[in-house]
Structure 1
Amino acid sequence: MKWLLLVFAGWSTLVGGLFLATLSGDVAVQLFSLEKNSKLLIQGLVMSGLVVPIILYWYQRVYRMTGVTPKTPVYSWKRFYHFFTGVLLAIGLASLGFIIAISQGWIVFEKWHTPDQWIIALLINVFIAFLYEALPEELALRGMVYDVLRNRFVAWQAVLFQTLLFVAAPIAVTQIQVLVGLDPGNAINMPYIILMFCFGICLQLLRLWTGSLWTGIGFHLAYLEITRFVIWPDIYGVPPIITYQGGLGIGGLFISLGMIVIGSIIVSLIILVAKRYMRKSGQFNHIHPKKIVE
């Protein structure tokens, strides 16, 4: 049952890190009356400071269990170039979504805002989101937990189980917060669960066809910044990159969920099927003609 214990260890590390990070932020605000960004920075530092080294430790146990130590792990800096693969994919799908939404009249574009109005806020948010969300979540779930599950199950089952654990993580943290008397950090409802489920599958598939966790990290960050600075900027109280009408209706949902998340799932599946077909074709072409006859 080592594999089951390792799955629980990875998942509970993420859940514990999330809870302690939010608790640290709340305590820091009460003690020092910090602003929102300072609170979020503390949460990000605590989150990555706890989760990343512990998961890397558990990863060594995974390698011993499987008996395979890769020369270039999925989290290696040598695979960092795939970070830009994820960023560009998210931006490209979002841009296509805006073009379609404008052409269909779901949103009405008004104007662009110059970078000096939002660039500093965006860069700060990218740094915090990297520490608090993208890096620890991708390393723990799409990395270690998936590798353990993949050692026991076929790929689609491992993707499904990892995604269910991804959805369960914020639910568990919210329940712990309620039990200890803290305000819940997330409003858990069906739309949120559907989004998290689709997002989890999306991020795992990105790792599968690139072989790098950095793809998911880049995509994760790009998605967060697009939603926070373009699609629903008023929700986060930050200056928008563009102003348009109709963003809170079908247009915003179509771009965020339909084009970016579902679109990336479709793109990933097409690439995975194409790569599998090419591998099979290559294997067939390398078969000696005499063996074919036999």
Structure 2
Amino acid sequence: MLSAKRPILAVRISIVLTGALLIWLGVISVTQRLFGEEMSFHAHATNAVGVFVLAVPLVVAARRYLDRRTWSGLGVTSLRQGWLSFWGGVVTWLLPASIGLAVCVASGWVEISLHSPAMQLLGAVLLLTVLVLVYEAFPEEAIFRGYVYRNLSAVTAPWIAIIGQAILFAIWGTTLWVVLNGWGVLAERLILFFAMAVVIGCIRAISENIWACVGFHVAFQVFMQLMLGDFYVQLEISNQQALILATAGVAFTFATTVAGFIWRGPTNWKHAEPDPPQLENAAGMQSER
């Protein structure tokens, strides 16, 4: 079985993305039946655990049985290397976003008022970091900047792979949101998901590690859910659109520049990066010869 011919690329990616979409929709559907459609900690935590325990094994299984390649080939490094890359990814978001936020507040374009205790804010940051990591960041990055990107970059130039995975992420994410929230979110989500995926795809190419992508994703989502949501902490924002432009807009624009300073050295944008088979596969094929 190990030396059998693999399904074609389009089939492999389609299986993973369809499976992932069904997992997200299925888990959310079950959660809504259990806890209702209103936002709650129990619903958020259940979604996170449900998606993680189903989506990550999906990628592992696809990598082994569809790709017949190693898990590490996706850019998942050791814990020590991954930890450093994770924080590098956090910085690629946090540094430009913080500068943009500081300028925005100092100029009076946005006023932010905290109506919750400081310790509650700290607790919300820590809690959201865990929930975002488990529910969104790691599963989505493993699928798109891991599985999809690696399969595409094995047969085409990385810059094309970045665009390809961004298109697929935009379609996948927008489909999920339209099913759950209706057609009114179509244009907004399509643009947001495509832009986000291009930026994180570039970070993937520069860092050669999906943990950097996870770090960026966590920082972005934790910040936005804190600022634009009102469940975990009470913040009053005078101008949300200006806040988004000053933080997300600035971070999306300059994240790759920051990444270039963190991960120094040449980045391959032009040449496909072959994805060699597992050692046991190679040994098996040699023995057949």
- TM-score interval, smaller chain: 0.7 to 0.9
Kindly state the Cα deviation for residue 169 of structure 1 after the two structures are TM-superposed: 1.1
The answer on whether the counterparts of 1:62 and 1:148 sit within 8 Å (CA) in structure 2 is no
Could you say if the C-alpha distance between residues 135 and 111 of structure 1 is closer, same or farther in structure 2, counting changes exceeding 3 Å? closer
Query: C-alpha root-mean-square deviation of aligned residues, in Å?
Result: 3.0
- Out of 6, 10, 29, the position equivalent to 2:12 is 6
Kindly state the Cα deviation for residue 224 of structure 1 after the two structures are TM-superposed: 1.0
For residues 82 and 143 of structure 2, what CA distance do their matches in structure 1 show?
Answer: 17
The answer on whether the counterparts of 1:205 and 1:269 sit within 8 Å (CA) in structure 2 is no
Kindly state the Cα deviation for residue 90 of structure 1 after the two structures are TM-superposed: 1.7
Partner of 1:18: 24
The answer on whether the counterparts of 2:148 and 2:165 sit within 8 Å (CA) in structure 1 is yes
Task: State TM-score, norm by structure 1.
Answer: 0.77
- Out of 114, 118, 121, the position equivalent to 1:115 is 118
For residues 21 and 205 of structure 1, what CA distance do their matches in structure 2 show?
Answer: 30
Partner of 2:241: 249
Could you say if the C-alpha distance between residues 72 and 146 of structure 1 is closer, same or farther in structure 2, counting changes exceeding 3 Å? closer
Q: SS of the residue aligned with 1:205?
A: helix
- Aligned pair count? 260
For residues 163 and 136 of structure 1, what CA distance do their matches in structure 2 show?
Answer: 16
Could you say if the C-alpha distance between residues 269 and 122 of structure 1 is closer, same or farther in structure 2, counting changes exceeding 3 Å? closer
Kindly state the Cα deviation for residue 22 of structure 1 after the two structures are TM-superposed: 0.8
Kindly state the Cα deviation for residue 253 of structure 1 after the two structures are TM-superposed: 2.4
Say whether residues 1:218 and 2:215 are aligned partners.
yes
The answer on whether the counterparts of 2:174 and 2:189 sit within 8 Å (CA) in structure 1 is no
Kindly state the Cα deviation for residue 102 of structure 1 after the two structures are TM-superposed: 3.0
Q: Give unmatched runs, 5+ long, in structure 2.
A: 1-6, 269-289
For residues 89 and 73 of structure 1, what CA distance do their matches in structure 2 show?
Answer: 21
For residues 184 and 87 of structure 2, what CA distance do their matches in structure 1 show?
Answer: 31
Q: SS of the residue aligned with 1:275?
A: coil
Partner of 2:77: 76
Task: State TM-score, norm by structure 2.
Answer: 0.78
Could you say if the C-alpha distance between residues 184 and 34 of structure 1 is closer, same or farther in structure 2, counting changes exceeding 3 Å? closer
Matched ranges for 1:89-238 at <5 A: 89-108=92-111, 115-174=118-177, 177=179, 183-184=180-181, 188-229=185-226, 231-232=227-228, 235-238=229-232
Say whether residues 1:239 and 2:240 are aligned partners.
no
Could you say if the C-alpha distance between residues 263 and 114 of structure 1 is closer, same or farther in structure 2, counting changes exceeding 3 Å? farther
Matched ranges for 1:42-61 at <5 A: 42-61=46-65
Could you say if the C-alpha distance between residues 71 and 203 of structure 1 is closer, same or farther in structure 2, counting changes exceeding 3 Å? closer
For residues 222 and 260 of structure 1, what CA distance do their matches in structure 2 show?
Answer: 11
Q: SS of the residue aligned with 1:16?
A: helix
For residues 166 and 128 of structure 1, what CA distance do their matches in structure 2 show?
Answer: 20
The answer on whether the counterparts of 2:174 and 2:186 sit within 8 Å (CA) in structure 1 is no
Residues 163-187 of structure 1: per-residue CA shift (max 9 Å, x gap): 1111111333345x4xxxxx53895
Residue type at the aligned position of 1:247: N
Say whether residues 1:27 and 2:30 are aligned partners.
no
The answer on whether the counterparts of 2:89 and 2:211 sit within 8 Å (CA) in structure 1 is yes
Does 37-46 or 187-196 show the bigger shift? 187-196
